[in-house]
A and B are shown apart, each in its own frame.
Chain A
Amino acid sequence: MDKPFYDFVILEDAFRYEFTSIGEKEILKVIVYQQTDLPDFFSLTLADVLPDGSLDVFVESKNGDMEKNLATVIQTILAFLSHNPNAKIAFSGSTTHRTRLYSIILTKEIEKVGHFLTILGLSDKGLVPFERNEKYDGFVILKKK
């Protein structure tokens, strides 16, 4: 929350966001929120736009600015929720490793955002309150009522 983040552009009625990661190279990143099968639940997609115009949701950019990128993603979550107060954002990492990384970041952030955001974990048990050191397949973030 208090970490530096990149300026981002809000597009398509706040369903799409773009920013440029600036490290060893400049990489255009796109974040899209899309309606899922469950009402009010939206998926979060983070993709790198590659030089040939294709998109990669799997790549580890290794641009030396991962924390700043993730801080920017968190800022877009806040922006999306301010435009869509009833939305629930569901996401997982593209790999088990990345999902674990998201879990570590959410553990760090939950103290700062826990008073106004609810963070839930998705596992075989379904949807459960997020706990440190638990293993999840994905996450759901929503505004507290």
Chain B
Amino acid sequence: METNLMPSKRNSPKKKIGKFNTLNEAVSHKTALVNQLLAKIDKEQLDTLTK
């Protein structure tokens, strides 16, 4: 007998994208996204543009 390890869609809790229980969670999420974007900046570019 096979066991289905995948949770059924009907029973799995729905986590709405972008919804957070606390402000800290929301801010950490957005800051992580911004950190990913900032990682694309090379230092020379940064020094030149923000001088």
Contact = CB atoms under 8 A, between A and B. Distances in A.
A122 B41 CA distance: 8
Contacts of A55: 19-23, 25-26
Interface stretch (A19-27, A76-84, A90-98): A90-98
Interface string B18-48: 1111110111111101110111111001100
Interface residues of B, number: 29
A56 B31 contact: no
B27 A124 contact: no
B8 interface: no
B4 interface: no
| Most chain A CB within a 10 A radius of its CB, from B16, B17, B18, B39 | B18
Contacts of A92: 33-34, 37
A118 B49 CA distance: 9
Interface in A31-60: 32, 34, 36-38, 41, 43-45, 47, 50, 54-59
Given A38-B46, A54-B21, A90-B38, 12 more contacts: A41-B38, A43-B27, A43-B30, A45-B26, A47-B20, A56-B20, A122-B40, A122-B41, A127-B46, A127-B49, A128-B49, A145-B51
14 contacts: A32-B23, A45-B26, A56-B16, A57-B29, A58-B19, A91-B34, A123-B40, A126-B42, A126-B45, A127-B40, A127-B41, A127-B49, A138-B37, A145-B51
